[in-house]
Structure 1
Amino acid sequence: MKLLMHLKKLLKNLYFSLKRFPYTIAFSTATTIILIILINYKSSFNANTVDTLIKTAMTLALGFPLSLSLSLLFERINDFKKITKIIILLGAGLLLSLYYFYLLNELNLLTSIRYIAVNITLYLTALMIHYLYQRENFELYIVHIASRAFVTAIYSVVLYLGSAATIFTLNKLLGLTVSPQIYNSTWFAVIGIFAPIFLLAGLPTYQQKLYTEDYPSFLKVLLLYIVMPLISIYTIILYSYFIKLLLIWQWPQGLVSHLVIWYSAISLAVIFAIAPLSKNNKWVKYFSFCFPKVILPLLIMMFFAIGIRISEYGVTENRYFVVLLGCWLLGIMMYYNLIDRKRNIMLPLSLALIIFLSVFGPWSSFAISINSQNKRFEELLYRNDMIKKEKVVKNKGSINQNDKKEINAIITYFKNNHSLEQLNYLPADFTIKNMDKFFGFSYQPHYRYNRDKYISLYIDRYPIRISGYDYYFEIPNYYPKKNEENLKTNHPLTLIYNRDDFVLKINYNNKTLYQKSLSEDITDIYRKIKDKPKTKLAPNDYAFIDENKEVQIKIIVKRLSGRIDNINKNDVTINSVQLIVCINLKD
């Protein structure tokens, strides 16, 4: 009976959600249907159709927070006439259409970042509408939604697992034909249709009042007794690190920027979430008072760290957003320190504003990054006397390797993130292929876009001929370290391998029979096989034989990871290797 009552209540809430947010749920459902179509029939469509479906799904997904914001606005201002609501909804539809045709005309980094920024802005707007501007208990409202989202995630996972188990049982026990894609389709249906309906069913109405007593107990325990102590410990660690840097007079590394930024953002979210508890808890009151002051020196050091990176490599979209988020965090912390009567609605309001402005206008991340990289490119060209009549010309002398790498990095940045037409001083007929004609050296992708190539040969699937050899060893696949590993004990024959310089040593009865660095042989194998399809590899491509008066060995490469330098093709770095060693002792 209780189960039926809970089920009835669930269905009633879902119906209320559908009735309250029909347009919002229609957008999420339509988006989900298109994604399911893409999952199941993408291979049947041509590239233009796939591109159109993806952009349509993106636009419809954007309609979810937009329609949600309007629905919440209509709840708050309930004296809108029906015709006014229709006009507003039609205006929203027109905005989505304009976004589709003018801001999604090409899917690239620029459109992706802008799309994410607009989405975040709209979701933040939806969260604020019921509480702009001086309404109390905004924090409890957000905590309530966060708790509902957590419950929604649990329900969604359980529903999917139950559905997947049912499909699996029908397939295995009853022999019904089931497409492998049905599991993905089911997952999308759960998170795209059920989850939004269930989440919105628990969204408080404008008339609903929230009280501190409603604060979720599990979240209270998590924040007060786990998260806040961890943040305090992390703060001590960061201060210890910065004090160490000051003592040795060394600038912080680039990684520090991200560590401080995300630590500050998470800490600010915690301060926001615990605000309703500050009246009755001294630990919360002390933490909320001290942290905005303690974080200021760390944020200043973070700006020094990111400033060093920008001075060396210029501004990119990633660095722009790190600086922007840092400025926002610094501003909010100053707000907490200077304003007595704080309104936490300022957090999402200010964040939504700067996120929106960061992707539109001459101050946007794209405009600033393009200008910065163009300025850096210009400095490199002038330094090497490579500009004549506002065009790139070959340098009559030689260009050092670092400048070549920097020029390649900038060209790679524009090629991958923007357009080469936006890079100044390039001739109209410049292409990647004819770069040597204008620069005097060929184009090589920057290392960020040419990462280590890992080769797994899977030779364990095929028989290995080891006739003629007495012993067999495997050298495991580790990254090189400065130590030697004895790979065999309790036997007269021992094999010692130095993972730092790839030196292999074979001893028998404490007598060294063989000692050699395998670095050059492994490097030659890497050059030979790195671009070959596995099906085209012959056994001799990944093996070599060596011998001396005492021993004959056969080395077989089983796994291999390395990198060839973009500029100097002869410079190969081997990062990891797994070897098989076959040994034949001579009489």
Structure 2
Amino acid sequence: MSLNTIILNFLKKLLGSALEYKFSSFFIFLFSIASIILVDKNFYYGSKEYIYLINIIYASSVGFLLTLVAYFSKKKKILLAVSLFLTGLYFYYLPFNEDYSTVIFFSNYLCIIAICISLLLYIPFHNEQKDNQRFLNWAINIIESIVISSIFGIILFVSLYIAITSIVILFDLKIEKFIYAQYLAIIVFGVFCTHYFLLSLNKNPQASELNLTFYNKIGNFFSKYILTTIVVIYSLILLGYIIKILFLQEWPNGVVVWLSLTFAIFSLLTYIFWTPYENRYKKLLIFVALIQLSLLFVAIYMRIAQYGWSTNRYMIVLTAIWLVGAFVYILIYKKYRYDYIFLAFALMLFISQYGYKMNSYYVNDIAQLNRLTQLLSQNSVLSNKTDKTIRCDISSAIDSLYTHRNIEFLNQAMPNIYDKYKYIKDKEYSNRYYSFPNYATEKLGFKYLSNWECGKNQTAYQNDNIYIYSNNTTDIIDVSGGYDVMNRNTLTIFHENSKYTIKIPTKDNLNFSEFDMSDFINKFKKSDTNESKSVKYNNDDLTFVAQDKNMKIKLFFYSMSISELSGDVVYPSTYILIKYLK
């Protein structure tokens, strides 16, 4: 068989998978087209065009998975209609402006993806007789399809990228590598990989047989020597910690929460992957995991009693309840089914994101509202001389509510402050950036204190880093001067041979302008930081202005960290203004 025939047959199979999963394929192409337009037009972040295209991309990825779930159902037509409706509903409720909670947005999106994958595992076995072996076969088939399509995609991308780069260099073409790499990635991973994934899926999971070649060579090794080893290691760590608790008579700390949760998840996965083997000792994993989970509940109870509910703590509790339920279900019910466990997982995720007054964000926000209301009622007069702990707690509560954009609770705790903030931001000083937590605490009588200033999250910096931030982020940057673009970015500052530089793409994205920032950065390294490695500067000190033949730029750094060991600039948080000169 000739190479041309092999390629044509392969393309026919890919086309066949596109026709078999028509709606899923439609969403793949919609995703790819929106991505290509986004790369080609280079819309300003925050523009209507940018927001619409990004929303189409997110909705398309959700639609792809929802319709794929429907194709494996016996009631395919009904579920396809439902999945299309849900995709449209998801798109309708996506944010179409810049003022939204990115935390909730991305958490919702990731949970929806996880829900879809869980339903994809469950739906082929709905109303079928119990067959955990076929469920495992189906799960392995999905994993195998993802892995193989990804490997093929990487090989194809690298091969084509090298070929195109060679053509560009040999024929001296004026094409920026980053641009054609983006187009190539969209086509290869967005179109080829997804259709190859569809092609690799078993069309009838209910009748699938175990791929012995894959399982014996990979799955068996993974189960025996990776999953089981990890579980044993975690078990020994937690067992040693339990002995320490009993010996020293001390309460467990917060780290044990994550250790117990990780151990329980790996225990469940190990149990599932050991399905082909009837081992009477398998259930010992479940008993050990239940004992370890008791540590989790003690530790998380202490954290909640001390600090109150938060989104993370609520998610940990829900996940732990799901794990306990799954383990108890396996122990007491002889005809247990793995697909029900994953259906329960999908339900748990749905409740955590969309449950009426039961979702993780509402639980967090009601706790923060009660905390903020109590603090404000107990401290009617606030100033910069008020106890730092009180100012930190108020700043943290306001920041949490604003991060979730819970305007109702903010207005309830601090009447009219948010409305005034919106008016000032939108009307009076529309050319300046305002941070609401800074504005709110200023109106209450004191300057906002960040987590860093309150002593939180310093472990990453405290040993060898100088942390620099603005002493006034309420009104941080003057945008007057006719700039064309304003972006909030985490820039990469290159550090080589004691020289600091940044590279900004030109207007046509075919080249870069390079600016030397050595003098600007070095002045912060010379600061006297013997007493504290956390240093405040005024806005002028943190503003960098430069110009070349292509553009004029203005950067405002409202925070960054400089390593005393390597000299590298890490985590620079900036606003960048660009005025193109040609």
Aligned residues of 2:104 and 2:404 also touching (Cα < 8 A)? yes
Q: Secondary structure at the match of 2:207?
A: coil
1:445 aligns with 2:450: yes
Partner in structure 2 of residue 403 of structure 1: 390
**1:33 to partner: Cα distance:** 1.8
Structure 1: how far apart are the matches of 2:533 and 2:271? 57
Structure 2: how far apart are the matches of 1:574 and 1:150? 39
Structure 1: how far apart are the matches of 2:205 and 2:313? 43
1:327 aligns with 2:321: yes
Residue 95 (structure 1) aligned to one of 86, 89, 96: 86
Partner in structure 2 of residue 165 of structure 1: 162
Deviations 1:149-201 (A, max 9, x none): 11111111111111111111111123233232111221122221111110111
Structure 2 counterparts to residues 60-459 of structure 1, below 5 A: 60-73=60-73, 76-77=74-75, 85=77, 89=80, 92-105=83-96, 107-108=100-101, 109-135=103-129, 136=131, 137-179=134-176, 180-206=178-204, 209-212=207-210, 214=212, 216-217=215-216, 218-275=218-275, 277-279=276-278, 282=279, 285-286=280-281, 288-360=282-354, 361-382=356-377, 385-386=378-379, 393-394=380-381, 399-423=386-410, 424-429=412-417, 431=421, 432=437, 435=440, 439-447=444-452
Query: Given the superposition, is the C-alpha separation of residues 131 and 104 from structure 1 closer, same or farther in structure 2, using an over 3 Å criterion?
Result: farther
Structure 2 counterparts to residues 42-53 of structure 1, below 5 A: 42-43=42-43, 47-53=47-53
Structure 1: how far apart are the matches of 2:8 and 2:383? 82
Q: Which residue identity is paired with 2:391?
A: K
Structure 2: how far apart are the matches of 1:342 and 1:524? 57
Aligned residues of 2:122 and 2:342 also touching (Cα < 8 A)? yes
Deviations 1:288-341 (A, max 9, x none): 211000011211111222222222222222222111111111111111222222
Aligned residues of 1:435 and 1:441 also touching (Cα < 8 A)? no
Q: TM-score, normalised by structure 2?
A: 0.72
Structure 2: how far apart are the matches of 1:457 and 1:421? 43
Query: Given the superposition, is the C-alpha separation of residues 428 and 208 from structure 1 closer, same or farther in structure 2, using an over 3 Å criterion?
Result: closer
Query: Given the superposition, is the C-alpha separation of residues 527 and 236 from structure 1 closer, same or farther in structure 2, using an over 3 Å criterion?
Result: same
> Please, what is the CA RMSD of the aligned residues?
3.6
State the number of aligned residues: 472
Aligned residues of 2:529 and 2:535 also touching (Cα < 8 A)? no
Partner in structure 1 of residue 471 of structure 2: none
Query: Given the superposition, is the C-alpha separation of residues 236 and 55 from structure 1 closer, same or farther in structure 2, using an over 3 Å criterion?
Result: same
Structure 2: how far apart are the matches of 1:145 and 1:459? 45
Q: Secondary structure at the match of 2:122?
A: helix
Q: Secondary structure at the match of 1:345?
A: helix
Aligned residues of 2:467 and 2:533 also touching (Cα < 8 A)? no
Deviations 1:115-142 (A, max 9, x none): 3323322232222221114342111111
Deviations 1:93-114 (A, max 9, x none): 3433332223445542223322
Aligned residues of 1:110 and 1:418 also touching (Cα < 8 A)? no
Aligned residues of 2:25 and 2:64 also touching (Cα < 8 A)? yes
Residue 532 (structure 1) aligned to one of 541, 551, 561: 541
Aligned residues of 1:167 and 1:178 also touching (Cα < 8 A)? no
Query: Given the superposition, is the C-alpha separation of residues 171 and 224 from structure 1 closer, same or farther in structure 2, using an over 3 Å criterion?
Result: same
**1:352 to partner: Cα distance:** 0.9
Query: Given the superposition, is the C-alpha separation of residues 57 and 457 from structure 1 closer, same or farther in structure 2, using an over 3 Å criterion?
Result: closer
Runs of 5+ unmatched residues, structure 1: 387-392, 464-517, 538-561, 565-572, 580-587
Q: Which residue identity is paired with 2:372?
A: F
- Please identify, of 177-186 and 359-368, the stretch whose mean Cα deviation from structure 2 is larger: 177-186
Q: TM-score, normalised by structure 1?
A: 0.71
Q: Which residue identity is paired with 1:364?
A: N
Structure 2: how far apart are the matches of 1:155 and 1:462? 40
Query: Given the superposition, is the C-alpha separation of residues 253 and 42 from structure 1 closer, same or farther in structure 2, using an over 3 Å criterion?
Result: farther
Partner in structure 2 of residue 36 of structure 1: 36
**1:380 to partner: Cα distance:** 2.9
Q: Which residue identity is paired with 1:238?
A: L
Aligned residues of 2:67 and 2:84 also touching (Cα < 8 A)? no
Structure 2: how far apart are the matches of 1:104 and 1:535? 33
Partner in structure 1 of residue 426 of structure 2: none
Runs of 5+ unmatched residues, structure 2: 422-436, 469-492, 501-526, 547-557, 568-582
Structure 2 counterparts to residues 454-465 of structure 1, below 5 A: 460-461=497-498
Structure 2: how far apart are the matches of 1:139 and 1:5? 35
